[in-house]
Structure 1
Amino acid sequence: MRMLLGLSESLPSLVEAKFNAAKAAQSLIFSPTELAIIRTSTGIPFQLRYCPALAKKPVPGKDDASAPKKKPDPFHNPSADLLIADIPTLNPSHLLVLNKFPVIRDHFILATKTNKEQTHVLEQDDLEATYACLKAWQNNMEQGHQKRLFAFFNSGEHSGASQPHRHLQFLPVECMKEGKQSKGWDLLIDIISSQSDTSLKHGVGWPSGLLQHPAIPFAHFALRLPSEPSGPQLLLAYDQLYQSAKKAVEEYIETNPSTLALHPIEEGSLPISYNMAMTTTAIAICPRRSEGHTLRHDDGSEIGLIALNGTTLGGTLMVKNQEEWDVLRTQSGRLDSILEAIGIPKEVHPPTLHSRV
């Protein structure tokens, strides 16, 4: 049975109103970005965002040489200025809260009401709540156009995760696109799931129906979702994708034992790092082996570390420094090296550009 949010007004209206009020009250810090579209050597488009303001953002524990303090939990009794709603309204299991440091408007978060671990397996109600938000957003029409949300999740030390309290994040696709600046760009999960000839050809042990795009240089697994999927269907899809990601990591470690190891699994934590993404039509997982990749000059000197999270499955990445911005926009092949380094490598077909991208 599909979760009903029970909100007093449409989800987009609630989020927009709360975002505008919080921005005006300086309860959140919105940092606009410059935007460019770059491509892999095989033609896959990625948004590159440049946000120098984030380079000035304090990092907990870095600015204070004294004994480290326990990191505050932003999802435990969040500020009323940022709290959107508890969902569902009857016996709420989750809350919706604005991201305090957004670079894209109306970036909001779904967190568990109780402090569950980010590194544990997602549960059925997490997936049901995520899908309910995606669907509620899409049901809101604006000027004849259907709105869309992109959901993503980071789990494990190599995934770009920053908070241990379990949460998934949402970005409005229209806000990601920013008008004509993103011409030629699509969500990566859309590119993966829309291809008709990308079924993963694996032997025994791989679920049927798995999708993997041949031109993307890291292992990833996707499934198309049925219309109005049930909670058990969402959980099954997630489990199949997670098991496929885990198998890919284990196979990589077998041949590269010195470069990656499984995580400790005490107290229920999962043995791999991964990103998950979801829309109303598809769900995808990307196993991770590194949080980022260091860009270097030809002489080996460091330009900067490019860190990625689950927005990778949305086809977007961000830099904070001018030189990183310049290098990635002007030097083809740098994007490939980043994507190959952060994921589990796989063979990429020769450079052929699909007409859709």
Structure 2
Amino acid sequence: MSNELEKGTLWKKVVDTTQRAIDNKSLLTIETLSYNIRQQGLNFTVRVAENIKRKREHKRVEPDFNPFLPPEAALTVCDISPSHIAVLNKFNVVEHHLLIVTRQFESQQSLLTMADFSALCHCLPEYPSLGFYNAGEDAGASQKHKHLQMVPLPLYGETEPFPFSTVFAKQSETDTISQLTQLPFKHTFCCLPEGLFENPNLASNHCHHLYHKMLKQLEIARLTGSKEQHHSTPYNLLITRQWMLLVPRTTECWQKISVNAMAYVGSLFVMNQEGLKRLEEIGPVNLLQAVSQ
């Protein structure tokens, strides 16, 4: 039996597994209300949790607990490659939120490998989606076991793919690493060639090469450990079929508001109405600047 993803099958597998997980109560969706905030010409969507208590009640507290070894059977979608599998995010805010997980333990602080990009680049062409990686706890990672993530676009059923869509849509020059003047935090950005993902193997090589160039431009060094290469600075990587964005981080949260990769396309999450009020007072742009380099 093949352990590689069959082209054109991922979306149906995600949808079918989601429905089964809902039916047997394995999927514990965090219900949210949506609010919009605008600052410095940027539109933000803020999701406010209504049932975050459920996540706390179900979350395992053992310090060494690894939800991916093995992953929960009811949440396991399919094989992707010899090195990665697809698993649903148990506590999802976005519907059909997928995790791309290494079969064997690798650290979430280790650099992305060709195998990681191969798994991601075989999944991204399957349906409109945003892939991302929270490189370490200070970048918003909640698990130590390496996993990339992928959410369908548009987010939350909105008409635009994500709140910062207009910022990214203005860019067209491919393979040139640059900065977007509207994004008020340190980052590197690069457009990808049209049609690149028609060949996932070519896409994974191309994106892996760009990833290392972006790290180098941001002066994020490789630190060699006993088995893996780690990064010197936490960061968030975001990728679609059209572009890549890499943002170095300083801390996971500010003013009790946590930030992960999705914040850098304008999607924020707070745990309650108090968090929303605090975010409105400090401003989402100020939040991103506080947690980014």
TM category (shorter chain) comes to: 0.7 to 0.9
Which of 32, 45, 48 is matched with 1:47 structurally? 45
From the superposition, tell whether residues 197 and 23 of structure 1 become closer, same or farther in structure 2 (CA, over 3 Å).
closer
CA contact (8 A) 2:94 2:156 kept: no
CA distance in 1, matches of 2:244, 2:29: 28
Code of the aligned partner of 2:63: K
Find the counterpart in structure 1 of residue 236 from structure 2: 275
Q: Which blocks of at least 5 consecutive residues in structure 2 are unaligned?
A: none
Is 1:309 equivalent to 2:260 in the alignment?
yes
Deviations 1:165-209 (A, max 9, x none): 1110111113x2334xxx677354x4454324999xxxxxxxx71
From the superposition, tell whether residues 109 and 196 of structure 1 become closer, same or farther in structure 2 (CA, over 3 Å).
closer
From the superposition, tell whether residues 192 and 240 of structure 1 become closer, same or farther in structure 2 (CA, over 3 Å).
farther
Deviations 1:205-234 (A, max 9, x none): xxx712322122211111111232513211
CA contact (8 A) 1:150 1:314 kept: no
CA contact (8 A) 2:173 2:191 kept: no
Code of the aligned partner of 1:22: A
Moved more, 78-87 or 221-230: 221-230
CA distance in 1, matches of 2:169, 2:139: 25
CA contact (8 A) 2:180 2:189 kept: no
CA distance in 1, matches of 2:161, 2:34: 12
Find the counterpart in structure 1 of residue 74 from structure 2: 81
From the superposition, tell whether residues 264 and 209 of structure 1 become closer, same or farther in structure 2 (CA, over 3 Å).
closer
How many residue pairs get matched? 283
CA distance in 2, matches of 1:310, 1:289: 13
CA distance in 2, matches of 1:342, 1:59: 28
What secondary structure, in the 3-state scheme, does the structure 1 residue paired with 2:45 have?
strand
| Deviation of the 1:79 alpha carbon | 2.0
Code of the aligned partner of 2:129: L
Code of the aligned partner of 2:85: L
What secondary structure, in the 3-state scheme, does the structure 1 residue paired with 2:108 have?
coil
| Deviation of the 1:264 alpha carbon | 7.6
What secondary structure, in the 3-state scheme, does the structure 2 residue paired with 1:132 have?
helix
Find the counterpart in structure 1 of residue 121 from structure 2: 131
From the superposition, tell whether residues 211 and 321 of structure 1 become closer, same or farther in structure 2 (CA, over 3 Å).
same
Is 1:95 equivalent to 2:88 in the alignment?
no
Find the counterpart in structure 1 of residue 162 from structure 2: 186
Code of the aligned partner of 1:232: N
Find the counterpart in structure 2 of residue 355 from structure 1: none
Which of 139, 143, 156 is matched with 1:163 structurally? 143
CA distance in 2, matches of 1:6, 1:272: 36
TM-score for both structures, normalised by structure 1: 0.72
Code of the aligned partner of 2:47: R
CA RMSD of aligned residues (A): 2.8
CA distance in 1, matches of 2:210, 2:181: 21
| Deviation of the 1:285 alpha carbon | 0.5
* Largest Rg, 1 or 2: 1
Q: Which blocks of at least 5 consecutive residues in structure 1 are unaligned?
A: 138-147, 200-207, 251-262, 295-304, 345-357
Code of the aligned partner of 1:241: M
Find the counterpart in structure 1 of residue 217 from structure 2: 244
| Deviation of the 1:120 alpha carbon | 1.1
What secondary structure, in the 3-state scheme, does the structure 2 residue paired with 1:162 have?
coil
CA distance in 2, matches of 1:234, 1:53: 37
Code of the aligned partner of 2:56: P
Find the counterpart in structure 2 of residue 288 from structure 1: 249
CA contact (8 A) 1:112 1:166 kept: yes
Is 1:233 equivalent to 2:206 in the alignment?
yes
CA contact (8 A) 2:29 2:92 kept: yes
* Matches for 1:201-350 after TM superposition, within 5 Å: 209-226=176-193, 227-228=195-196, 230=202, 231-246=204-219, 266-267=225-226, 268-294=229-255, 305-329=256-280, 331=281, 334-344=283-293
CA distance in 2, matches of 1:115, 1:158: 20
TM-score for both structures, normalised by structure 2: 0.86
Code of the aligned partner of 1:283: M
Is 1:32 equivalent to 2:31 in the alignment?
yes
Deviations 1:217-253 (A, max 9, x none): 2111111112325132111111111222335xx9xxx
Code of the aligned partner of 2:273: Q
CA contact (8 A) 1:192 1:222 kept: no
| Deviation of the 1:306 alpha carbon | 0.4
Identity over the aligned pairs, expressed in percent? 26
